[in-house]
């Protein structure tokens, strides 16, 4: 049986494995090779000189990396606080309403994120849905909150909301009710139950949710472009510019490599700490 399982497993992995080998791993190798080429070349047939990496420090690209990481971190924190009560409700309180909420949140994912962000521009801009009606009713408007760091973090929170909510809800549903009951019977306060029962037992969901939102937020581009109006340049923006206007593939590749290493390291760290089979509902 074991040998058969081995053979069947291998053969069923082939189609997807080939897709990822040819269109995920191979391009990554190309990026890595381009990143060590001399600047502004378009072919790999050059002597590598690693000059693109020195530019990262010399020309201040590390600043846009720090901005991206900082805003992603802030967004993950806000999301954790916002989603925890709701995830708790979905896992333990809502009953039928959980399904309604799940469907509503999943459906919103199917709308292109640029359309949803553009909708926020229309809602928040001067003469937009909020300001326009308030001015029409009260006579005084207000300055638009668009085009600054705060609104970019808001955009990240809005777009990546489902990626925190669902893992958290899954994590909280793994906390046995008996354990919470026992803690309460022994005289634990609500705060103590949260600290010593809920948070540790829901940890896999917390790890997955926080990592997902942080990693996706760090590489995000549309939020800062559409809502932020270039108030802050993030690393994904620099990468895009290097490839398009800059026509400097090695620089773009080097910046990509730095982002990939940070994100890939975090993702592997998280994936290694979580038992996938348990989270996804293994029966055996």
Written as one string, the DSSP assignment of 183-214 is: HHHTT--HHHHIIIIIHHHTHHHHHHHHHHHH
**Looking at beta carbons only, is 97 or 142 nearer to another protein?**
97
CA distance 35 to 39: 9
Site for another protein in 49-68 (CB under 8 A): none
* Binding residues for another protein, total number by CB under 8 A: 103
Per CB under 8 A, the segment of 46-54, 73-81, 145-153, 254-262 that binds another protein is 254-262
Does 107 bind another protein (CB under 8 A)? Our answer is: yes
CA separation for the pair 117, 18 (Å, rounded): 35
Spatial separation of the C-alpha atoms in residues 204 and 161, rounded to whole Å: 18
| Candidate segments 47-55, 83-91, 143-151, 199-207, binder of another protein by CB under 8 A | 83-91
Give which of 31, 51, 21 is closest to 239, Cα–Cα. Answer: 31
Among 70, 128, 150, 246, binds another protein (CB under 8 A): 128
Which residues, numbered 265-284, are part of the site for another protein (CB under 8 A)? 267-268, 271-272, 276-277, 280-284
CB of 196 to another protein, least distance (A): 14
Contact range with another protein by CB under 8 A, out of 47-55, 56-64, 143-151, 209-217: 209-217
- Do 146 and 223 contact (CB within 8 A), yes or no? no
**Paired tokens of 7:** 């053979």
DSSP for 96-153 reads: HHHHHHHHHHHHHHTS-HHHHHHHHHHHHSTTSHHHHHHHHHHS-------SSHHHHH
Choose, by CB under 8 A, the member of 47, 57, 96, 104 that binds another protein: 104
- The reply on whether position 131 binds another protein by CB under 8 A is yes
Smallest separation, CB 58 to another protein (Å): 22
Mask for 19-48, x = binds another protein (CB under 8 A):
xx--xx-xxx-xx--x-------x-x----
143's torsion region: left (phi>0), alpha (psi -120 to 50) or beta? Answer: beta
Among 53-61, 142-150, 199-207, 262-270, which window interacts with another protein (CB under 8 A)? 262-270
Q: Find the part of the chain contacting another protein (CB under 8 A) among 53-61, 111-119, 142-150, 199-207.
A: 111-119
Residue with tokens 């058969």: 4
Question: Could you say which of 41, 184, 231, 233 contacts another protein (CB under 8 A)?
Answer: 184
Burial class for 165, CB neighbours closer than 10 Å (0-12, 13-18, 19+)? buried
Of 62 and 94, the one with the shorter C-beta distance to another protein is 94
Stretch that binds another protein, among 49-57, 59-67, 73-81, 252-260 (CB under 8 A): 252-260
Judged by CB under 8 A, the residue of 58, 81, 99, 129 near another protein is 129
Strands, E assignment, the chain: none
Instruction: Indicate the SS3 state at residue 244.
Output: coil
- Of 46, 54, 114, 247, the one binding another protein (CB under 8 A) is 114
Residue in the structure block whose two tokens are 């923006």:
237
DSSP 88-111: HIIIII-THHHHHHHHHHHHHHTS
């Amino acid at each position: 049986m074991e040998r058969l399982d081995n053979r069947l497993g291998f053969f069923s992995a082939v189609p997807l494995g080939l897709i990822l080998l040819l269109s995920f791993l191979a391009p990554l190798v190309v990026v890595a090779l381009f990143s060590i080429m001399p600047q502004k070349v378009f072919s790999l047939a050059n002597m590598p000189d690693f000059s693109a990496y020195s530019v990262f420090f010399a020309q201040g690209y590390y600043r846009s990396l720090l901005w991206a990481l900082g805003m992603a971190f802030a967004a993950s924190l806000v999301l954790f606080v916002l989603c925890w009560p709701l995830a708790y409700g979905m896992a333990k309180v809502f009953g039928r309403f959980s399904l309604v909420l799940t469907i509503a949140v999943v459906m919103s994912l199917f709308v292109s994120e640029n359309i949803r962000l553009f909708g926020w521009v229309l809602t928040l801009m001067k003469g937009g849905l909020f300001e326009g009606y308030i001015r029409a009713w009260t006579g005084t408007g207000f300055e638009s909150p668009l085009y600054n760091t705060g609104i970019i973090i808001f955009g990240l929170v809005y777009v990546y909301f489902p990626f925190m909510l669902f893992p958290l809800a899954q994590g909280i549903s793994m906390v046995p009710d008996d354990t919470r009951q026992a803690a309460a019977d022994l005289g634990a306060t609500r705060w103590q139950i949260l600290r010593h029962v809920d948070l540790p037992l829901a940890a896999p969901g917390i790890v997955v949710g926080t990592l997902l939102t942080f990693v996706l937020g760090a590489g995000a581009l549309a939020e800062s472009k559409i809502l932020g109006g270039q108030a802050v340049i993030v690393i994904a923006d620099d990468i895009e510019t290097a490839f398009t206007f800059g026509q400097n593939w090695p620089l773009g590749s080097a910046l990509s490599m730095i982002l990939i290493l940070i994100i890939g390291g975090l993702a592997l760290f998280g994936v290694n700490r979580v038992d996938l089979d348990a989270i996804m509902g293994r029966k055996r």
